[in-house]
Structure 1
Amino acid sequence: MEYISTRGQVAPIGFIDAILMGLADDGGLLVPQHIPQLSADMLKSWQRLSYQELALEIFTLFVNDEIPCADLKRLVDDSYATFRDEDVTPVRRINNGLHVLELFHGPTFAFKDVALQFLGNLYQYVSGKTNSIIHILGATSGDTGASAIEGVRGKAGIRICILHPHGKVSKVQELQMTTVDDANVLNLAVDGTFDDCQRIIKELFADVDFKHRYHLRAINSINIARILAQTVYYFYAYFQLANKGQADKVNFSVPTGNFGDIFAGYLALKMGLPINKLILATNENNILERFVREGVYEPGEFRGTYSPSMDIQVASNFERYLYYLYGEDSAAVTRLMGQFKADGRIAIPADKLAAVQADFAAYGVQNEECLDAISDYHAKYDYLLDPHTACGVAATDKLADDGEVTIALSTAHPAKFDEAIRLRGIAQTYPPQIEALFDKPQHQTVVGGTNDDIKDQLVKFF
């Protein structure tokens, strides 16, 4: 398998070079040169595999022979040995029509652990095998930062700098990042929004000279390894229902702000997983919902919500979807992204909008709707949703038809967002790993929101 850029100006490269490049050197995003097609027989043969066995099968399709099978198996086993549930990502039945895919059993209680435990180990492996310098630069709206730091803290040959929007993540999310005191970790609290942090990251990676001089590597979902790792749990969740005879008309409802998690589901669909409907759940920062409904991709006014990890206006993985929407036409993608940079807006024609609406249904959940879902499901089913998962469940209630079964992705443990949950008078007990954070000192540097502000910090750190 080789990887190419959505903008067509990078020669095909292998898997290891792709994860090291992160953002393509032409400013695009890397995608597989072709998407593996899975037969019904292959899917059936995978149906009763463990999570680790399934991950190894899927990764092998995209890695080929660059990493020996025994080494890849060890990376997978080491990555998911850190999870608290033996199923890694268990599926919980809520009612006849709704199941929840719990993605929060990793070390930082967030779905990002599924990909970032693997990517952290992969970076360490590549560093050791190639004698490479790994300087990771990432931005977070809350969960990526803690998961990325946990994946590489203390590891030889790797340093990591994470940007987060100052004062715009939950307290637990902030503590999970900033109480880490390892010498290879730098936390920068940026005066701005997550979109500002993400813009800085993409612009620094697009500065190819700076990127190469300081050996910058990507941890955000611009890195294709993140997407591939997240694809696994769509297959695994589907198989859990198939093993119980419940796999007809399965929807996936995905809370998303950056389009990475739902793009992983779209990739699974393209590979041959028989998904009935991909439900795209957003919050009041609903640029993606408006695109699905109207065919216009245009940032609106930023709104702080109870689901802060989705408080995103510009979705970094959206370009990957445009690439497939336009028939893998890199020239068209380059034109559209140039138009977006110049005008802040993309509008697609009616035939493309029809294709989008065949791929996705979308719903933007208002703040009070999010809290209603938390309180309603807690009262009816004694199941506590975090506010992001609540958006996915609320969107399911709006968009799933009678007789359909939906798997809603639960992206974080509710303890990470107690501020929102307490608004509905619901008390919860923190897991001991989270409770312990409140007694630890914090380590972070508050900085301005310009590229130069961040560059100054990176030069000193790296």
Structure 2
Amino acid sequence: MKYCSTRGQVRDLSFSDAVMMGLASDGGLLLPEQIPQLTQPQLESFSRLSYTDLAYEIISLYATDVPAADLRRLVNTSYASFNHPEITPVVKQDDVYILELFHGPTLAFKDVALQFLGNLFEYYLIRDNRNLNIIGATSGDTGSAAIAGVRGKKNINIFILFPFGRVSSVQEMQMTTVTDDNVFNVAIDGTFDDAQAIIKEIFNDQQFKQTHALGSINSINWVRVLAQIVYYFYAYFRVREQTACEQVQFSVPTGNFGDIFAGYIAGKMGLPTRRFILATNSNNILCRFVNEGDYSLADVHHSLSPSMDIQVASNFERYLYYLYEGDTAAVVTAMDRFKKTGKITFSAALQTKIQQDFVAASVDDQQTLEQISSFYHHTGYLLDPHTAVGVKAASKVGEDVPLVCLATAHPAKFPEAINKAIKDKRPPLEIIERLRGLPRRCERLAADASLIKEMVARNSSKS
């Protein structure tokens, strides 16, 4: 399997090169040159596998230069840290199937990909006797999951930028209480979009990137998407066992377009699914894109679902590549237009294609609180605010097939929102309570790429 850039100037990369490059050197995002097509016999065979065995089979279709025994060990090691035997179990609540993605070490779906990516990085670095300085931006969950994936690992430093005052108290604790020598947290005075723009600016400085051996853990790294493809198939198989239905629909709370893009790729591989429900909070650029053909910047609103407080979706360019049928010149033109004007519009013909892939709905904070409360009092099951956005959006635009809603985080990560939604006092989780009172380490800086580069250069290890 070879990899190419959405912008056409990088192609014929191996899987290992794609992993270590992160953002393509032409500024684009990396994708496999072909999407593997699963046959019906393969699907039937996969349906009987455990999660780890399924992950091995799907990832091996893309990671063709990793020896089979090594890949299987990496997969098994990555998911040994999860606290549920099914890794991503599916539970039925009322008429919704909840795909629980929060059983990893930081209680969020990002663990599914970042435990694997952290082990994969270490594998390559030890094999090649190299160092890596990972730099990433987070709206809350990516940072803690990435830190958990690489803390204490050999040959790796990690630098995480997060928007000061715009992540939940638990998310901030999970990041800043990790004081391993190879972990650096930076709170910037700005939004997640500011942090993400800094990351892209730094990665586009090819000399700095090479001098300081930079790597990416944000979902611009293809492995983040790849690992997430697995749980769409796993959930489909579990729901089919219970319903005998041959199609399902997924509702995906998303701000960065990475999680839902993984589902889109699963569909291109042969996953039998209806249109994906794209669920956003009040930061609704992706919802406007689907419903109106309008991908345009607006102010970022601080919400009760902070991991979705995003306006510039970093994986959007990957979908554009397929929407434009692999026309990299069209992708470059669109992204240049967006950089200059903050807007991309789409023709009626393209809107029709988009709406064959997705339906979308936006959910505000009040609706989120009402959904958490009503679902809890009806079923006894507590949704985190992001998952509540997905369930509410599905009630607006869902189709008449079994519905799977991705539960992207444990509700205990968002006590402020939960306390507003329900009166019942929830017992604290030990894994979170252990963090309170621990020493913290974090540097606060202005949202300025030159300051971040100076900080990285001061603390990085060179290959």
Instruction: Select the residue among 401, 404, 407 that pairs with 1:407.
Output: 404
Aligned length: 459
Task: Report SS of the residue matched to 1:45.
Answer: helix
The amino acid across from 2:176 in the alignment is T
Instruction: Select the residue among 240, 264, 272 that pairs with 1:274.
Output: 272
Maintained 8 Å contact 2:178/2:440 = yes
Q: Counterparts in 2 of 1:194-213, with a 5 A limit? A: 194-213=192-211
The amino acid across from 1:56 in the alignment is Y
Task: Report SS of the residue matched to 2:104.
Answer: coil
Instruction: Select the residue among 415, 418, 430 that pairs with 2:415.
Output: 418
Moved more, 294-303 or 115-124: 294-303
CA displacement at 1:438 relative to structure 2: 1.1
CA displacement at 1:306 relative to structure 2: 0.3
Matched, 1:233 2:206: no
Which residue of 2 is the match for residue 76 of structure 1?
75
The amino acid across from 1:47 in the alignment is S
CA displacement at 1:132 relative to structure 2: 1.8
Matched, 1:330 2:350: no
CA displacement at 1:316 relative to structure 2: 0.3
Maintained 8 Å contact 1:47/1:243 = no
**Cα distance in 2, alignment partners of residues 6 and 426 from structure 1:** 49
Which residue of 2 is the match for residue 309 of structure 1?
307
**Cα distance in 2, alignment partners of residues 50 and 430 from structure 1:** 31
**Cα distance in 1, alignment partners of residues 389 and 363 from structure 2:** 6
Task: Report SS of the residue matched to 1:397.
Answer: helix
**Cα distance in 2, alignment partners of residues 228 and 136 from structure 1:** 19
**Cα distance in 2, alignment partners of residues 247 and 237 from structure 1:** 13
Q: Counterparts in 2 of 1:156-235, with a 5 A limit? A: 156-235=154-233
Q: Counterparts in 2 of 1:29-68, with a 5 A limit? A: 29-64=29-64, 66-68=65-67
Maintained 8 Å contact 2:2/2:11 = no
**Cα distance in 2, alignment partners of residues 398 and 339 from structure 1:** 32
Which residue of 1 is the match for residue 369 of structure 2?
371
**Cα distance in 1, alignment partners of residues 383 and 424 from structure 2:** 11
**Cα distance in 2, alignment partners of residues 248 and 423 from structure 1:** 39
**Cα distance in 2, alignment partners of residues 248 and 14 from structure 1:** 35
Q: Where has structure 1 moved over 4 Å in runs of 4 or more?
A: none
CA displacement at 1:277 relative to structure 2: 2.2
Q: Counterparts in 2 of 1:5-20, with a 5 A limit? A: 5-20=5-20
The amino acid across from 1:32 in the alignment is P
The amino acid across from 1:308 in the alignment is P
CA displacement at 1:404 relative to structure 2: 1.8
**Cα distance in 2, alignment partners of residues 233 and 430 from structure 1:** 28
The amino acid across from 2:345 in the alignment is A
CA displacement at 1:72 relative to structure 2: 0.3
Moved more, 218-227 or 450-459: 450-459
Task: Report SS of the residue matched to 1:439.
Answer: coil
The amino acid across from 1:311 in the alignment is D
CA displacement at 1:167 relative to structure 2: 0.7
Matched, 1:249 2:247: yes
The amino acid across from 2:118 in the alignment is G
Which residue of 1 is the match for residue 263 of structure 2?
265
**Cα distance in 1, alignment partners of residues 326 and 457 from structure 2:** 37
Which residue of 1 is the match for residue 444 of structure 2?
446
**Cα distance in 2, alignment partners of residues 248 and 385 from structure 1:** 27
Task: Report SS of the residue matched to 1:306.
Answer: coil
**What fraction of aligned residue pairs are identical, expressed as a percent?**
54
**Cα distance in 1, alignment partners of residues 442 and 154 from structure 2:** 22
1:410-445 CA-to-partner distances (Å, cap 9, x unmatched) read: 000000001011012242122101011112121100
1:391-410 CA-to-partner distances (Å, cap 9, x unmatched) read: 00001111113x42110000
Which residue of 1 is the match for residue 3 of structure 2?
3
For structure 1, the 5+ residue unaligned runs are: none
Which residue of 2 is the match for residue 115 of structure 1?
113
**Cα distance in 2, alignment partners of residues 404 and 244 from structure 1:** 13
Task: Report SS of the residue matched to 2:27.
Answer: coil
Maintained 8 Å contact 1:415/1:429 = no
Task: Report SS of the residue matched to 1:36.
Answer: coil
Task: Report SS of the residue matched to 1:101.
Answer: strand
Instruction: Select the residue among 423, 435, 438 that pairs with 1:437.
Output: 435
The amino acid across from 1:261 in the alignment is D
1:160-205 CA-to-partner distances (Å, cap 9, x unmatched) read: 0000001100000000000011000000000100000000001111
1:251-273 CA-to-partner distances (Å, cap 9, x unmatched) read: 00000000000000000001110
CA displacement at 1:231 relative to structure 2: 0.4
Task: Report SS of the residue matched to 1:437.
Answer: coil
Which residue of 1 is the match for residue 356 of structure 2?
358
| Superposition TM-score, scaled by structure 2 size | 0.98
Instruction: Select the residue among 116, 130, 143 that pairs with 1:132.
Output: 130
